Amino acid sequence: MGTIQIENVSFKYDQMMDNLFDSLNLKIDESWKLGLIGRNGRGKTTLLKMLLGQLKYSGQIVSNLNFYYYPQTVVNKDLLTVDVVKEITQLEDYDLWKIEVELDKLKVDQNVLQQQFSTLSPGERTKVLLAILFIDESGFQLIDEPTNHLDIEGRQIVAEYLKSKKGFIVISHDKSFLNQVIDHVISINRSDVSVYKGNFDTWQTQWELQNQTEAAEKEQLQKDISRLHETAVKRENWSRQTEAHKNRKQYHEKVHLDKGFIGTKAAKMMKKAKTAENRVNSAIDEKKTLLKNIEVEAPIQLNYEKKNHPDLFVQVENLTLRHNDIVTPEVSFEVKRNHVVALVGPNGIGKTTIFRQILGLSQPFTQEGSIRMANNLKISYLRQDNELEGTIRQLAERKQISPELVFSNLRKLGFERYLFDQPVEKMSQGQRRKVALALSLSESANLYFWDEPLNYLDVITRQQIIEAIQKQRPTMLLIDHDQDLIDAVSSVKVKLHH
């Protein structure tokens, strides 16, 4: 039987201070169905790339298996899907039945092979790429977050599909998905990497037991950390108020006023607050290193403006959007104050298109029906894709948000500080998502449009988001395929179907 032996492997990216992996030792059997879990940025994707031999590390990885990675890069998306398949797999025409068999198991219509790859829905693309991965029966598949962007039905189909396979590593933050498909877990923790037999739930039970022991031993440390977090939150609220006050003055003050003076004073105060906050953060970091594997995170908060709100924010009546042969199903709904309205429906039905139309963003659709919006709303839009570029500071300044506030929110989301000056393009997928999320949290707003906020985010961050929405009850339009989130926060569900 084949194995993968990881012996004494250490690795870091160039600009990192510490090793991402430090003398890692693991033995994996080729028949295992492994779930690779861990918080964003812990090195899950990196570990798969090391197995593929794409990164230079010290130590050795011994294996005679053929590794295949999802998601593959599709260089030319304008090609017909069948040609994309041939390009990636090097299959000859007479062997194309192999892909047809896999597509069939994934419940994908064979006709997509004759369609341009770029015109496939996100769910179809995922399934085609997975089908390609499994045409070599003897291979060992490395599957990096297949569930993002998949609707509930799609997740179920992919889960069933993987259940029928053997010998793979899958990365996912979706607990119920993992529970169905895996029989072993590799967990990348704060201070080590461990392997467990069982599914996600089994892992979680053992993990919590282990944590309790550690926590009992280090109770005082945890108390200290919570107290420091509280100080940080207080300070941040205070500096946020000062900032808001400063902005109000700048916008509304018509009388004579020495703006220069207020500006300098506020800047000084901000600087002081920043120094103090840095001190608190260093203290938290220092104490955290003493707690080996426990994750300690402060609650997050939306910069939600509650004052003078209308009762009705958005009213959509008999809305249909058309472009060529795409037609969104007719919908009517209202977004009332403090309601979270969830748009739910399968991939490709037009949820994002409806969002963009309400937001008045340009797109080639003709509209039937009406959209009415209250006046003077401050809207924060979290887009579905990770499209951001540049440093966090640049992104914040572009949106006129205080970078300090964004940093402070990122810290609460478990973001390491050394990343603050990195360009977003160099970050892991989850870290990028956190930057987008932190920008939306920090922006002062009274209406939120959040399009699949949970994609790429780790389990702890998901929980933080759910708790923040439950606590603050912001007015929000929400799209997500995560059933837990929708059930936990939505006041109204708008179901879309053809």
Ligand X SMILES: Nc1ncnc2c1ncn2[C@@H]1O[C@H](COP(=O)(O)OP(=O)(O)OP(=O)(O)O)[C@@H](O)[C@H]1O
Binding footprint of ligand X on the chain (CB under 6 A): 13, 20, 38, 40-46, 419, 426-431, 456, 458
Q: Is 306 helix (H, G, I), strand (E, B) or coil?
A: coil
Closest distance to ligand X from the beta carbon of 422 (Å): 7
Q: Which of residues 44-73 bind Mg ion (CB under 5 A)?
A: 44-45
Nearer to ligand X, 38 or 474 (CB): 38
Nearer to Mg ion, 44 or 175 (CB): 44
Q: Is 494 helix (H, G, I), strand (E, B) or coil?
A: strand
13 binds, among ligand X, Mg ion, none (CB under 5 to 8 A by kind): ligand X
Q: Which two tokens stand for residue 113?
A: 């092979």
Nearer to Mg ion, 45 or 126 (CB): 45
Residue 348: which residues within 8 A CB-CB, separation 6 or more? 121, 122, 123
Nearer to ligand X, 414 or 474 (CB): 414
Closest distance to ligand X from the beta carbon of 47 (Å): 7
446 binds, among Mg ion, ligand X, none (CB under 5 to 8 A by kind): none
Nearer to ligand X, 112 or 395 (CB): 395
* Residues 428, 441: Cα–Cα separation, whole Å: 20
Residue 357: which residues within 8 A CB-CB, separation 6 or more? 319, 321, 363, 365, 367, 371
Convert residues 385-414 into a mask of x (bound to Mg ion by CB under 5 A) and - (unbound): ------------------------------
Residue 272: which residues within 8 A CB-CB, separation 6 or more? none
384 binds, among ligand X, Mg ion, none (CB under 5 to 8 A by kind): none
- The dihedral formed by the CA atoms of 244, 431, 148 and 205, expressed in degrees to the nearest 10: -100
Closest distance to ligand X from the beta carbon of 360 (Å): 32
Closest distance to Mg ion from the beta carbon of 428 (Å): 5
Residue type, 192: D
User: Which single residue brings its beta carbon nearest to ligand X?
Assistant: 430
Closest distance to Mg ion from the beta carbon of 447 (Å): 31
42 binds, among ligand X, Mg ion, none (CB under 5 to 8 A by kind): ligand X
3-class SS letters over 230-289: HHHHHHHHHHHHHHHHHHHHHHHCCCCCCHHHHHHHHHHHHHHHHHHHHHHHHHHHHHHH
Closest distance to Mg ion from the beta carbon of 142 (Å): 11
Tell me the site size for Mg ion, rule CB under 5 A: 3
The sheet that has 67-70: what strands, in order across it? 67-70, 140-144, 168-171, 33-38, 184-188, 193-197
Nearer to Mg ion, 113 or 171 (CB): 171
DSSP 81-98: HHHHHHHHH---GGGTHH
Nearer to ligand X, 81 or 428 (CB): 428
46 binds, among Mg ion, ligand X, none (CB under 5 to 8 A by kind): ligand X
Q: Which two tokens stand for residue 236?
A: 């941040």
Using CB under 5 A as the binding rule, whether residue 464 contacts Mg ion is answered as no
453 binds, among ligand X, Mg ion, none (CB under 5 to 8 A by kind): none
For residue 370, report the phi and psi dihedrals to the nearest 5 degrees: -130, 155
Give, in order, the Cα–Cα distances in Å from 484 to each of 149, 156, 465.
15, 15, 12
Nearer to Mg ion, 356 or 433 (CB): 433
431 binds, among Mg ion, ligand X, none (CB under 5 to 8 A by kind): ligand X
Among the listed residues 119, 126, 455, 405, the one whose alpha carbon sits nearest the alpha carbon of residue 273 = 405
442 binds, among ligand X, Mg ion, none (CB under 5 to 8 A by kind): none
Q: Which of residues 410-429 bind Mg ion (CB under 5 A)?
A: 428
* Residues 38, 458: Cα–Cα separation, whole Å: 7
Q: Give yes or no for a contact between 333 and 341, defined as CB atoms under 8 angstroms apart.
A: yes
Closest distance to Mg ion from the beta carbon of 224 (Å): 32
Closest distance to ligand X from the beta carbon of 10 (Å): 14
123 binds, among Mg ion, ligand X, none (CB under 5 to 8 A by kind): none
List Cβ<8 Å contacts ≥24 apart for 120-125.
120/81, 121/347, 121/348, 122/149, 122/150, 122/347, 122/348, 123/149, 123/150, 123/151, 123/154, 123/346, 123/347, 123/348, 124/347
Closest distance to ligand X from the beta carbon of 178 (Å): 14
Residue 274: which residues within 8 A CB-CB, separation 6 or more? 404
Nearer to ligand X, 269 or 460 (CB): 460
Question: What is the dihedral sign for C-alpha 344, 349, 352, 355?
Answer: negative
Among the listed residues 475, 450, 451, the one whose alpha carbon sits nearest the alpha carbon of residue 373 = 475
Strands 21-29 and 3-11, bridge-based pairing: antiparallel
Q: Which of residues 27-46 bind Mg ion (CB under 5 A)?
A: 44-45
434 binds, among ligand X, Mg ion, none (CB under 5 to 8 A by kind): none
Nearer to ligand X, 2 or 423 (CB): 423
Closest distance to Mg ion from the beta carbon of 433 (Å): 11
Nearer to ligand X, 13 or 97 (CB): 13
Strand partners of residue 380: 448
Closest distance to ligand X from the beta carbon of 432 (Å): 8
Give the footprint of Mg ion on this chain (CB under 5 A). 44-45, 428
